[in-house]
Amino acid sequence: MSRKKTKLRKVAEKSQPMDKNVVALLLKDHRSMKKLMASIKSQRATHAKIFSSFKKLEKLVYSHMKAEETSLLHRIQDHKVFEDEANEGVEEHRIHELVMKNVHKLSDKERRVTQIKIFCEFLEHHLKEEENDLFPAFNKYAALSTRKKIGAIFLKRRKDTQRSGKKIGALAN
């Protein structure tokens, strides 16, 4: 396991339910996304299970993207250390939105399942980049007090954009 992953895991594990460190909150959402993607990619998953899991994933991803952009990415995109990663993240979010929207336009179930699985691969790549590049750099350069202030903004935006009653990821206890 790389040193960066170990440090990020420690941040996530140390975080208490009320911890508002934005990196720990983002990682909680990432873990929930990964669980849903594992359910989608399971060899035993039926179409119904895949569609159900995707619906939950889609709601989480939408809320997560909006909160991440508002609280973090737009705030750091003009900083020379973070601008490339932040701008790339925002652009990838636009692609996520487009793919999610287009999945629902497909009437053929097999094509829809294929699109969902491709979406998961792209999302996994995006999460990996954030976890390996952006988050460690942000932890290094931003004070804990700043990360907590941004975390509070992230949580508020997540709550405002959550499309379902069930709280998962950063919103779960």
In a domain, 119, yes or no: yes
Q: Is residue 64 part of a domain?
A: yes
Is 169 inside a domain boundary?
A: no
pLDDT tens digit string along 64-121? 999 999 999 999 999 999 999 999 999 999 999 999 999 999 999 999 999 999 999 9
Domain limits for position 151: 22-161
Is there a domain that residue 106 lies in? yes
Q: Give per-residue pLDDT as tens, 28-76.
A: 999 999 999 999 999 999 999 999 999 999 999 999 999 999 999 999 9
Please report whether residue 126 resides in a domain: yes
| Phi-psi category of residue 46: left, alpha or beta, with phi > 0 → left and psi -120 to 50 → alpha | beta
Asked if 31 and 169 touch (Cβ cutoff 8 Å), the reply is yes
Domain count of the chain?
1
* CA 60 from centroid of its chain's CA atoms: 8
**100 in a structural domain:** yes
Task: Tell me the whole-structure pTM to 2 decimals.
Answer: 0.87
